[in-house]
């Protein structure tokens, strides 16, 4: 049962006294009381008897069995749990041991899942991320990157030789794309693989310092093979022919004794800000010879006599096809980032429900989550975790469809959607981690409570598998491509369909009656919310297209793009928020349980209005939201935060993260303070 009306009034009285203590607040307490009563008036009608299993089933779906299998295995293996204090070398060996145990003892085969059921693969990746984020990344390097490059860029002969060894981790490997001088600009890499016709081999060469392969996961300690991206060079009497960037399998350590092979030079990149369970290394190749068959030849092949063939006519098309097959890494990072957000919000929310501070004499202190400031820090994050979950679930479905059909339209859609969601979600989670830490005060600073390790391990998500700023530009470029296609009468990609209507309707004069509507029913109407998001995207797209056309006349295409870059990034973020909200709406409609649906709608409303308020200046500048409406949106957001607070505990419980894997004393479901004091050495 929820608190009584008398308890509500007592909380309000304590809030008044607290405000008088901190001083400097001239708020109208009558209005404050009205706001508080609005927020709690529906408390008794809220689904207090909601089964956590119903919501957990919604959040885990078909992946629940895999999650529980993995959780049970690691809960029963304390020797595989990562301690709070662990050195780099020990952490690397533990992470490798965890990966081997996952495959050979727990019986989970990520490589098989990646090929046959990608959605289950990403569910497993999220689950192992709760064990240790380093394990999640190690798994991604072994299977998604190294294994994925062999499966997606190679042909049957490569799968026959390497698949089983990758699957059972007999062939630990690397993905050697990034170089010291080139990261995002992969076409600019300088490593070469020159064909030697006499020996029927490629000669792999690092021609200069800048071509050193850098930040290569699995390279420093465990890797035996590497997929090396290099320019394929074909010599001829008339001059060398550069066929563009291709992928080659290069052995780097002996299968017999693990010694570094001749011509290969490996260095350790050392301690990092986070993810020190992953052995990142640097590689140089001194004329290393590999068989011609080690070319991963799905998109381009070389015959014994040195003749190059490809179904794709240009270097750019071959390069685009190659990178298009590697988007699985971005899908995994987006999904994994949501898991990290879930964990951090769970810890911060449970602690905020437990922690009590301030109150009048002779009366109990109140939970810090009863303070409006704490609610507005954490409750939108909780809503966002749910929103991101449904968006990445949709991305996984589209990715699975892409792997089955290989349709060009689906490939293009997944490429842009994975870039946008990876960039948006990882950037949001990075900021949220710091806010969660701060929301837990000094106790959030204790390493055992995990915010530090979560924040440090996650930080790189913003820049690997594509720098977020670069990825958002890819989304903006695709939007502009769709914009041009619309005016040529071409069909739009599925995710972009709303632009057809928005560009024809939303850009017309805004209705003054609608822009001033401020009643609760209107603001919580999903049609208003999605219309607002899509109006903003359409407006940004239309105006940036005009700006680019104007500036390109004087500055050229590159200069115009750079001149409008911030506008383009805002456009991409706006579009991704529209997609996220649309998928949240669909999740609410699909939900059959009435209590769960109420909760999802509550979270959806909070996510939508929080994002509108966050960018209210744009809506005001575009005359889409009048001043009175902006004020009403802010008020509704405050009320929604207070409403979500009342069910925050069940909502984080529904993420289904076991205490033994969450491992933060202040974030446990019960006994938080006891566990915390035991950790530092007190016996009772």
pLDDT in tens, 243-267: 999 999 999 999 999 999 999 999 9
User: Residue 39: what pLDDT?
Assistant: 41
Q: Do 73 and 201 fall into the same domain?
A: no
Determine the Cα–Cα distance for residues 111 and 487; give it in Å rounded to an integer.
43
Radius of gyration of the chain (CA): 27
Q: Do 614 and 637 fall into the same domain?
A: yes
Per-residue pLDDT tens for 214-226?
A: 999 999 999 999 9
- Lowest mean per-residue pLDDT among 381-395, 508-522, 575-589, 637-651: 508-522
Q: Which residues contact 400 (CB under 8 A, 6 or more apart)?
A: 117, 118, 119
Per-residue pLDDT tens for 614-651?
A: 999 989 888 888 899 999 999 999 999 999 999 999 99
Instruction: Determine if residue 239 is labeled as part of a ligand binding site.
Output: no
Tokens of 627: 């001043």
Contact 454, 275 (CB under 8 A): no
Q: What would the DSSP string read from start to end of 391-454?
A: HHHHHHHHHHHHHHH--HHHHHHHHHHHHHHHHHHHHHHHHHHHHHHHHTGGGGGSGGG-HHHH
Domain assignment present for 220: yes
Query: Does 97 score more than 70 pLDDT?
Result: yes
In the numeric block, the tokens 């008398």 are attached to 6
Domain boundary among 165, 197, 216: 165
If pLDDT is split at 50, 70 and 90, which confidence band does 161 have?
very high
Domain boundary among 165, 194, 220: 165
Give the rounded percent of residues in the chain with a pLDDT score beyond 90.
71
465 is catalytic: yes
- Lowest mean per-residue pLDDT among 36-50, 209-223, 331-345, 515-529: 36-50
Q: Do 257 and 305 fall into the same domain?
A: yes
Q: Do 155 and 255 fall into the same domain?
A: no
Judged by DSSP in three states, 20 sits in helix
Q: Do 335 and 449 fall into the same domain?
A: yes
If pLDDT is split at 50, 70 and 90, which confidence band does 500 have?
low
Determine the Cα–Cα distance for residues 395 and 126; give it in Å rounded to an integer.
15
Judged by DSSP in three states, 302 sits in strand
Q: What is the CATH number of the domain that holds 212?
A: 2.40.110.10
Strands 366-367 and 192-196: unpaired
Q: Do 297 and 383 fall into the same domain?
A: no
Contact 53, 396 (CB under 8 A): no
Domain assignment present for 23: no
Q: Do 271 and 335 fall into the same domain?
A: no
Q: What is the CATH number of the domain that holds 422?
A: 1.20.140.10
Q: Do 110 and 224 fall into the same domain?
A: no
Domain assignment present for 496: yes
User: Residue 486: what pLDDT?
Assistant: 65
Query: Does 487 score more than 80 pLDDT?
Result: no
Query: Does 296 score more than 70 pLDDT?
Result: yes
Domain assignment present for 14: no
Q: Do 307 and 454 fall into the same domain?
A: no
CA 493 vs. chain centroid, Å, equals 22
Q: Do 590 and 519 fall into the same domain?
A: yes
Catalytic choice (201, 465, 577, 638) = 465
User: Residue 513: what pLDDT?
Assistant: 60
The closest of 380, 310, 435, 455 to 641, measured between CA atoms, is: 380
- Which of 411 and 134 is assigned the larger pLDDT? 134
Judged by DSSP in three states, 290 sits in strand
Q: What range does the domain containing 192 cover?
A: 173-316
Task: For the beta carbon of residue 428, count every other beta carbon within 10 angstroms.
Answer: 19
Per-residue pLDDT tens for 32-72?
A: 444 444 444 433 334 444 557 788 888 887 788 899 999 99
Domain assignment present for 621: yes
Domain assignment present for 191: yes
Per-residue pLDDT tens for 129-148?
A: 999 999 999 999 999 999 99
Judged by DSSP in three states, 658 sits in coil
Instruction: Determine if residue 217 is labeled as part of a ligand binding site.
Output: yes
User: Residue 375: what pLDDT?
Assistant: 97
The closest of 668, 604, 672, 594 to 636, measured between CA atoms, is: 604
Q: Do 493 and 546 fall into the same domain?
A: yes
Total structural domains within the chain: 3
Q: Which residues contact 405 (CB under 8 A, 6 or more apart)?
A: none
Q: Do 306 and 353 fall into the same domain?
A: no
Domain assignment present for 678: no
């Amino acid at each position: 049962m929820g608190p009584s009306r008398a308890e509500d009034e007592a909380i309000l009285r304590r809030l008044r006294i607290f405000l008088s203590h901190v001083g400097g607040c001239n708020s109208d307490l009558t209005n404050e009381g009205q706001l508080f009563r609005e927020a709690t008036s529906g408390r008794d009608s809220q689904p207090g008897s909601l089964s956590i299993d119903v919501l957990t089933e919604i959040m885990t779906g078909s992946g629940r069995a895999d999650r529980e299998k993995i959780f049970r295995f690691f809960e029963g293996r304390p020797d595989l749990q990562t301690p709070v204090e662990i050195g780099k070398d020990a952490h690397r060996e533990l992470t490798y041991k965890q990966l081997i145990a996952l495959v050979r003892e727990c019986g989970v085969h990520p490589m098989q899942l990646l090929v046959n059921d990608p959605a289950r693969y990403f569910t497993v990746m999220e689950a192992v991320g709760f064990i240790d984020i380093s394990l999640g990344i190690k798994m991604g390097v072994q299977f998604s990157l190294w294994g994925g490059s062999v499966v997606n860029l190679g042909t049957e002969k490569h799968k026959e030789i390497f698949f089983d060894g990758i699957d059972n981790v007999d062939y630990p490997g690397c993905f050697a794309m990034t170089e010291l001088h080139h990261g995002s600009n992969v076409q600019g890499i300088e490593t070469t693989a020159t064909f030697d016709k006499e020996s029927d081999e490629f000669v792999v060469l690092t021609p200069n310092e800048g071509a050193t392969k850098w930040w290569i996961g699995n390279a420093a300690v465990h890797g035996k093979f590497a997929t090396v991206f290099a320019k394929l060079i074909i010599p001829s009497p008339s001059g060398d022919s550069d066929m563009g960037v291709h992928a080659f399998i290069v052995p780097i350590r002996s299968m017999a004794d693990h010694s570094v092979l001749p011509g290969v030079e490996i260095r350790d990149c050392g301690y990092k800000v986070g993810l020190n369970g992953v052995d990142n290394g640097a590689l140089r190749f001194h004329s290393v010879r590999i068989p011609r068959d080690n070319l991963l030849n799905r998109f381009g092949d070389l015959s014994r006599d040195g003749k190059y063939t490809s179904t794709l006519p240009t270097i750019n098309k071959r390069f685009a096809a190659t990178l298009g097959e590697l988007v699985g890494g971005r899908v995994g990072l987006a999904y994994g980032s949501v898991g990290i957000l879930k964990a951090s919000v769970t810890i911060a929310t449970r602690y905020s429900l437990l922690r009590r501070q301030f109150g009048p004499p002779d009366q109990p202190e109140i939970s810090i989550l009863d303070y409006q400031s704490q609610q507005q820090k954490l409750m939108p994050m909780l809503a966002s975790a749910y929103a991101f979950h449904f968006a990445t679930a949709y991305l996984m479905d589209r990715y699975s469809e892409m792997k089955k059909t290989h349709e060009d339209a689906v490939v293009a859609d997944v490429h842009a959607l994975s870039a946008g969601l990876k960039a948006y979600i990882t950037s949001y989670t990075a900021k949220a981690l710091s806010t969660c830490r701060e929301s837990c005060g000094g106790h959030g600073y204790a390493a055992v409570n995990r915010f530090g390790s979560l924040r440090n391990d996650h930080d790189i998500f913003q820049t690997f598998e594509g720098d977020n700023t670069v990825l958002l530009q890819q989304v903006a470029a695709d939007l502009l491509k769709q914009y041009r296609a619309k005016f040529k009468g071409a069909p739009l990609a599925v995710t972009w369909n709303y632009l057809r209507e928005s560009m024809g309707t939303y850009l017309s004069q805004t209705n003054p009656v609608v822009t001033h509507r401020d009643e609760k029913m209107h603001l919580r109407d999903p049609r208003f919310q999605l219309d607002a998001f899509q109006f903003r995207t359409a407006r940004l797209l239309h105006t940036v297209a005009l700006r680019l056309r104007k500036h390109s006349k004087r500055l050229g295409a590159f200069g115009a793009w750079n001149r409008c870059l911030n506008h383009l990034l805002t456009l991409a973020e706006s579009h991704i928020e529209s997609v996220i909200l649309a998928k949240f709406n669909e999740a609410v409609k699909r939900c059959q349980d009435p209590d769960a649906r109420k909760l999802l709608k509550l979270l959806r409303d909070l996510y939508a209005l929080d994002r509108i308020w966050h960018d209210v200046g744009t809506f005001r500048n575009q005359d889409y939201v009048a001043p009175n409406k902006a004020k009403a949106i802010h008020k509704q957001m405050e009320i929604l935060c207070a409403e979500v607070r009342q069910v925050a505990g069940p909502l984080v419980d529904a993420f289904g993260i076991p205490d033994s894997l969450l491992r933060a004393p202040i974030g446990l479901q019960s006994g938080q303070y006891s566990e915390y004091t035991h950790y530092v050495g007190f016996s009772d």
